[in-house]
Structure 1
Amino acid sequence: MISTICNRKISKMANESDRYPLHKAVFENDLKSLSRLLRKHNVTAKDNHGNTALHLAVMLGRKECVQLLLKHDAPVKVKNGLGWTVLAEAVSYGNRPTISSLVRKFRQQSREQMEERRPNLVEALNRINDFYMELKWDFQSWVPLVSRILPSDICKIYKCGANIRLDTTLVDFSDMRWERGDISFIFNGNAAPNQSLTVLDNVQKVYQNVKYEVS
Structure 2
Amino acid sequence: MAVCAPSKPTLHQGVRECDPDPMGATDTEHLLDDLQACNTSFNVIERSLNAYLDSKKLLFPRFFFLSNDELIEILSEAKDPLNVQPFVKKIFEAVNAFSFNADTEITSMISIEGEVIPFDKPVPTQGDSNGVERWLLQAEAQMRASLATITANAMKAYATTPREKWLLEWPGQSVLQAIRDGATYGLQQLEVANTRELLEECGGGQGGQHSTQGWSFRPLGRGS
Q: TM-score range by the shorter chain?
A: under 0.3
Q: Which structure dedicates a bigger proportion of its chain to helix?
A: 2
Q: Which structure dedicates a bigger proportion of its chain to strand?
A: 1
With the length of structure 2 as denominator, give the TM-score of the two structures: 0.26
Structure whose alpha-carbon radius of gyration is higher:
2
Larger RCO: Structure 1 or Structure 2 (Cα < 8 Å, ≥ 6 residues apart)?
2
